[in-house]
Chains A and B, each alone.
Chain A
Amino acid sequence: MSNAIIPLLLDSLASAALIFFAAVGLTLVFSVLRVLNVAHGSLYSIGGYVAASICLFIASRQLNPYLSFLALLFSAVGVAAIFGPLIERGLVRWTYGKSEAVQILITFGLFLILEDLQRVIFGVQSFYEDAPMRLLGTTSIGGVVYLNYQILLIAMALLVVVGLRLLINHTRLGRLITAVVADREMAQSIGIDTNRIFILAFSLGVFLAALGGALATPTSGIAPGLGADTMVLAFAVAAIGGLGRIEGAALASLIVGLARVLAIYLAPSLDAVAPYAAMLVVLLIRPYGLFGSVTARRI
């Protein structure tokens, strides 16, 4: 019994970690910019494509395979450095203060553009490069074999939760962000450069999404349509946790991961339904999510 459950649990924790990367960026961007970025899933898949391309390049040149770990990280940094400021300055900032319909549609337009750009640049074949996963090998505890890479994913997700919390509570930048979230105009009037905060927060969100995509490629590969699938999952997780809440997104990823495991265990054909069903149930009871609140805006 436990021999069957524990690997499944580890699987779900690892997939929860990947969903969390996508969702936490979405929720962070929503919290600071008050824009729901529908193109967020595309940035996740772009991160994946870039990482996979670099890893394949490393493999083809027979460079030190451990470089691929660096490639995962730096592809996320690169994607964030290019797309973060570009999208925020070029597009998203025009939607500040506009209605949600306008924001959703503008970013939906961006989503369509990014999806096709990926198709043009990376083609329609799927990418699969598992060098980082093979390098880490497996661990056997009590006769059950674990992939060390999955443990790395879970550790990375924990690191992000703690890191973001430390960043927001204990650094100057974090306090500036908190001030902007609490009251944008007041923050502006006391001399905080809100534009800079917006660019930084948006780029950080892009970085987290791209990192999630990069970390996901060794486990599941990457194919067209990943962006759209990730988007709606990230959306479900962010909504369950309460839009704008980091810890909420973490808890919601666990819920979605567990819901999937339970579905696989009880009704295998319904595993894809589980995340959305969980989202529906939570939102019907608490439309603002588990950690969200109607009035006070926090981060």
Chain B
Amino acid sequence: MPAIIAAAAVLILTLLPVAAPWLQFVLTLAIAKGFAALGVAVLLRAGLISIGHAMFFAASAYAVAFLARAGVNDLGLLLILSVLGGALVGAVAGSFLVRYRAIFFAMLNLAVSMVFYALCAKLYGVTGGTDGMPVPVPAVFGIALGEPAFKSVLFYLSLGLMVLVGLAVQRYLNSPLGHALSAVHTNEIRLEYLGIPVWAVLLIAYVISAALAGLGGAIAGFAIGRVVPDFAFWTASGHLVLIAVLGGIGGVPGAFIGALFLELLHSAAVTVTDSWNLIVGMTLIIVIMFMPQGVYGLFARKEATSL
């Protein structure tokens, strides 16, 4: 039953831009942020809250810009290399960050991401400072596309990746390695006594979550056509946690539902008012206070009652 609903949702997403072309950009960005929020959600499983994941989002987007500047001009290659770049940054940062828990983990992630942000904003000669760097339109399998065609390709590629990567992450979370994450949350010492190295479990999760955030960042970079240091600012990290919580930490679709919900709310709100953060902030507070399961929880509950 859930599979059918998911398939129907993906089908609707596939057809939406045909009906309303302006939605394509919004949906691409929503999927990109969904990937990053999924990364945050993976760590939330272990009870670790990261207010720094925008760093990996930005790292991969910058990687795309740097690679493009160096002459790499193929969408697939750029995506793979930049996600690997994000994962590498994640492995380096994660190797010392996963030793910390609770508020210390959150603070250290924030510190690392703000160092990254300040470097991006200040090293004018390398990163273009606050002006950021352009992300050119790459070739797809050697075919040079115009910008509108490329944006369509990007959207359908993101959609395909959402399904594939989503299934892979689902699989990972259902594997012993994934279940170990929740076990870290419940009782870490018990896990160590069982002979499972907590450090390794968390580092793997950290690298996966950084790669997911990186994939989202690379897609967002292509969709927007520019990367700026603000990608890595702490409020961006806060938004990612927000999406992960909006979607509920229950499942993989949650992150994407949360991102879609937020981006659609954004597009709807900007037509009415400038103060869309006001609406988001209130939504967030209401969701946390009254729907601790997240927006995803609403659907899950309906499903349960219909059975």
Q: Which residues of B contact A106 (CB under 8 A)?
A: 284-285, 288-289
- Asked if A102 and B288 sit within 8 Å, CB to CB, the answer is yes
Nearest chain A residue, comparing its CB with the CB of B233? A228
B294–chain A nearest beta-carbon distance, Å: 11
Given A109-B281, A287-B100, answer yes or no on A100-B107 (Cβ-Cβ < 8 Å).
Answer: no
What 0/1 readout, one digit per residue, does chain A (230-247) give for beta carbons within 8 Å of chain B?
011001100100010000
- Asked if A94 and B111 sit within 8 Å, CB to CB, the answer is no
Cβ-defined partner of B289 (8 Å) among A38, A94, A232, A288: A94
Q: Which residues of A contact B121 (CB under 8 A)?
A: 272
Q: Which residues of A contact B96 (CB under 8 A)?
A: 284
B117–chain A nearest beta-carbon distance, Å: 8
B282–chain A nearest beta-carbon distance, Å: 6
Given A104-B51, A105-B245, A232-B114, answer yes or no on A269-B275 (Cβ-Cβ < 8 Å).
Answer: no
What 0/1 readout, one digit per residue, does chain B (144-174) give for beta carbons within 8 Å of chain A?
0000000000000000000000000000000
Cβ-defined partner of A273 (8 Å) among B47, B122, B124: B122
Interface of B is mostly: helix
A145–chain B nearest beta-carbon distance, Å: 29
| A108 interface contact, C-beta 8 A | yes
| A110 interface contact, C-beta 8 A | yes
**Measured between alpha carbons, how far is A271 from B115 in the docked complex, in Å?**
11
Which A residues, 76 to 128, have Cβ-Cβ distances below 8 Å to chain B? Answer: 91, 94, 99-102, 104-106, 108-113, 115-117, 119-120
**Measured between alpha carbons, how far is A236 from B281 in the docked complex, in Å?**
24
A23–chain B nearest beta-carbon distance, Å: 13
Nearest chain B residue, comparing its CB with the CB of A115? B277
| A63 interface contact, C-beta 8 A | no
What 0/1 readout, one digit per residue, does chain B (80-119) give for beta carbons within 8 Å of chain A?
0000000000000000100010111011101110110011
What 0/1 readout, one digit per residue, does chain B (113-134) give for beta carbons within 8 Å of chain A?
0110011011110000000000
- Asked if B103 and A36 sit within 8 Å, CB to CB, the answer is yes
- Asked if A109 and B284 sit within 8 Å, CB to CB, the answer is yes
**Measured between alpha carbons, how far is A243 from B103 in the docked complex, in Å?**
10
- Asked if B44 and A101 sit within 8 Å, CB to CB, the answer is yes
Stretch from B58-66, B204-212, B234-242 contacting the other chain: B234-242
Q: Which residues of B contact A283 (CB under 8 A)?
A: 104, 107-108, 111
- Asked if B275 and A116 sit within 8 Å, CB to CB, the answer is yes
| A270 interface contact, C-beta 8 A | yes
**Measured between alpha carbons, how far is A201 from B272 in the docked complex, in Å?**
38
| A153 interface contact, C-beta 8 A | no
| B189 interface contact, C-beta 8 A | no
Given A105-B242, A287-B100, answer yes or no on A112-B277 (Cβ-Cβ < 8 Å).
Answer: yes
**Measured between alpha carbons, how far is A242 from B66 in the docked complex, in Å?**
38
| B278 interface contact, C-beta 8 A | yes
**Measured between alpha carbons, how far is A294 from B204 in the docked complex, in Å?**
27
| A276 interface contact, C-beta 8 A | yes
- Asked if A100 and B49 sit within 8 Å, CB to CB, the answer is yes
| A280 interface contact, C-beta 8 A | yes
B134–chain A nearest beta-carbon distance, Å: 22
Q: Which residues of B contact A36 (CB under 8 A)?
A: 103
Given A273-B118, A288-B104, answer yes or no on A105-B275 (Cβ-Cβ < 8 Å).
Answer: no
Q: Which residues of B contact A110 (CB under 8 A)?
A: 281, 285
Q: Which residues of A contact B47 (CB under 8 A)?
A: 99
**Measured between alpha carbons, how far is A119 from B273 in the docked complex, in Å?**
12
B155–chain A nearest beta-carbon distance, Å: 28
Q: Which residues of B contact A228 (CB under 8 A)?
A: 233-235
Apart from A106-B285, A111-B281, A279-B111: 16 A-B pairs, beta carbons within 8 A: A100-B103, A100-B106, A101-B49, A101-B245, A102-B288, A104-B241, A106-B289, A108-B242, A109-B281, A113-B282, A116-B275, A236-B111, A243-B103, A273-B118, A276-B118, A277-B115
28 CB contacts below 8 A, A to B, read A38-B238, A91-B285, A100-B103, A104-B49, A104-B241, A105-B241, A105-B284, A106-B285, A106-B289, A108-B242, A109-B242, A109-B285, A111-B281, A113-B285, A116-B278, A117-B278, A120-B278, A232-B110, A239-B107, A239-B111, A269-B122, A272-B118, A276-B118, A277-B115, A279-B107, A280-B112, A284-B96, A287-B108
Q: Give the 3 A-B residue pairs with the shortest CB-CB distance, closest first.
A: A112-B281, A109-B284, A113-B281
